[in-house]
Structure 1
Amino acid sequence: MPGPAPYRRFVALGDSFTEGVGDSDPDRPNGLRGWADRVAEVLAARAAAAGEDFGYANLAIRGRKLVPVLEEQVEPAIALQPDLVTLYAGANDIVRPKVDLDALAVAYDEGVERLTTTGAQIVLFTAFDPGQGGLYAPIRGRFALYNEHVREIADRHGAVVADSWRIAHRLPGGLVASDARLWDVDRMHLGPAGHQFVAMMVLDALGLADHGLEPVPLAEALAVPRLQRARADLDWARRHLAPWVQRRLTGRSSGDTITPRRPGLAPIE
């Protein structure tokens, strides 16, 4: 006979990473799937096998900085009486021209402390290692410091860490987290393969290694001629980087008109 399901009330908090941006599915709310849905699907199957109900809520909204995530999502999450909460926020702060990571860590710690009042298992995330090249390489140190704060907060509150910085050690075939095949065309959000890897990482961190998920098959990595690569970079800058910079300059966010796609606990198929 199946044993009890490990989790029956899963609530995901955060920004575009948790909302699922980059992993399109027109049949789902906001047209997205994402790693959190993938985790919920595994947990729902385990609950069904044990003859138990399962509910999943996703309160994440793209573009949100850390403090707004905490202010807007923590109390609604607590009200749902979850037994599992995932929280990732801060990347949208790190990439701003100026950021006080120590002050953010204080706010983050207070938010996690409030979440622990539910008795739920809390899962926090480190940021991906941007590597020594590419868009975010100049602020690699910020990501590393942020990650140390996250690990300390997790230790203090008994949270599990899904360690995205070290995900390269979990990727098969010598992949690294900066591999373009894991990312969406905007180079800012994970693609389906990346979201699948994160789902596997979260389930592994929870001790549910027999989750049955497999990596998404990737196309063969091909060498790209320099001129073709330069043209692709220019096209990316026009289509994705320029709009992102314009929103920063005008104080707008990609999530200004977005609402949580799963605001209450509900089954997932």
Structure 2
Amino acid sequence: MAFTRYVALGDSFTEGVGDPDETLPNGVRGWADRVATALTAVDAQTRYANLAIRGRKLVPIVDEQIDAAVALNPDLVTIHAGGNDMLRPGVDLDAIGRVYDEAVGKLVATGATVVIFTPHDPGASKFFRPLRGRFALMAEITREIADRHDLTVVDYWRIRDYDDNRMWADDRLHMSPQGHQRMAVAVLDALGVKHDLQPLPLPESIPSGAAENIRWTREFLGPWLGRRIRGTSSGDDLAPKYPDWSVAPA
């Protein structure tokens, strides 16, 4: 299949956090950029917009990105939302699901192919494992939305490659470049798009042990908790990478 107007929506997952590239807007590449590049290899006329911003919860994603995406008249939309909501205490996932369902309906009404993602299975993560039940419920809500609207689903929950901690960045929250490449492959395969993407080599090992846990707490967990207390987000001062039609990055 060929798509020529691709819009990516969501949060840090779609913006590309964990896949650094200082030559690109916001300093990241990510799986969506990789998908856009692969689509351009199929049709050189392909244009790409990425409205995702790190730290966004589902309602702000809907409020800020859905109408903007519809206005671009895309033929392909990917959307990932709800990840930041699941990390908040007391989140009402059923309410989140209703908002998500309505938003997806607006995207489907454009006639575009819409791709949605389940959350991943955090069972292999010592830090996020206690939230596994919450992630599982959101995965099922997402599948129900997909069934209702006949969406293309990337079932992140069932991609066992992400049980390997080398697929994650050193913040333990976002995918590494290898993880982003694997996700790009999953999206293209789900769409039936021919491509030549191959897995990126994994490092033989990654840092571990007490010293690494202290570093992670100081550099990532502490600042993350601080933002929660202050009610701020890592994306507060950022704009979308590609707010209008752009050529996919090389």
| Matching of residues 166-245 of structure 1 within 5 Å | 166-168=158-160, 176-208=161-193, 210-221=194-205, 229-245=209-225
User: What is aligned with 2:86?
Assistant: 94
Which of these residues, 224, 244, 247, is aligned with residue 267 of structure 1? 247
Q: List per-residue Cα deviations over 1:75-97 (Å, max 9, x = no partner).
A: 00000000000000101000111
Residues 232, 45 of structure 1: alpha-carbon distance in 2 compared, 3 angstrom cutoff: same
Offset at 1:178? Answer: 2.9
Q: List per-residue Cα deviations over 1:31-83 (Å, max 9, x = no partner).
A: 111000000000011002xxxx1100000000000010011000000000000
Tell me, which stretches of 5 or more residues in structure 1 are unaligned? Answer: 169-175
| Matching of residues 239-258 of structure 1 within 5 Å | 239-258=219-238
Runs ≥4 residues deviating over 2 A: none
Q: Report the residue type matching 1:206 in the other structure.
A: L
User: What is aligned with 2:108?
Assistant: 116
Which of these residues, 19, 22, 26, is aligned with residue 26 of structure 1? 22
User: What is aligned with 1:11?
Assistant: 7
User: What is aligned with 1:71?
Assistant: 63
User: Match of 2:209, SS?
Assistant: helix
Offset at 1:230? Answer: 1.2
Q: Report the residue type matching 2:93 in the other structure.
A: L
Offset at 1:112? Answer: 0.1
- Which piece of structure 1 moves more, 128-137 or 241-250? 128-137
Check conservation: 2:8, 2:51, Cα contact below 8 A.
yes
User: Match of 2:123, SS?
Assistant: coil
Q: List per-residue Cα deviations over 1:99-122 (Å, max 9, x = no partner).
A: 000000000000000111110000
User: What is aligned with 2:38?
Assistant: 42
Offset at 1:221? Answer: 3.6
User: What is aligned with 1:85?
Assistant: 77
Q: List per-residue Cα deviations over 1:152-203 (Å, max 9, x = no partner).
A: 10111111001111111xxxxxxx4132211111111111000000000001
CA distance in 1, matches of 2:124, 2:167: 17
User: What is aligned with 2:145?
Assistant: 153
Check conservation: 2:124, 2:163, Cα contact below 8 A.
no
Aligned-residue sequence identity (percent) comes to 54
Coordinate RMSD, CA, aligned: 1.2
User: Match of 2:183, SS?
Assistant: helix
CA distance in 2, matches of 1:211, 1:98: 42
CA distance in 2, matches of 1:254, 1:140: 24
Which of these residues, 126, 133, 137, is aligned with residue 134 of structure 1? 126
Q: List per-residue Cα deviations over 1:216-254 (Å, max 9, x = no partner).
A: 0012247x7xxx601111110011000000000110000
Residues 40, 133 of structure 1: alpha-carbon distance in 2 compared, 3 angstrom cutoff: closer
Offset at 1:133? Answer: 4.3
Choose 1 or 2 for highest CA Rg: 1
Tell me, which stretches of 5 or more residues in structure 2 are unaligned? Answer: none
User: Match of 2:41, SS?
Assistant: helix
Residues 265, 38 of structure 1: alpha-carbon distance in 2 compared, 3 angstrom cutoff: same
Offset at 1:132? Answer: 5.1
| TM-score between the two structures when normalised by the length of structure 1 | 0.90
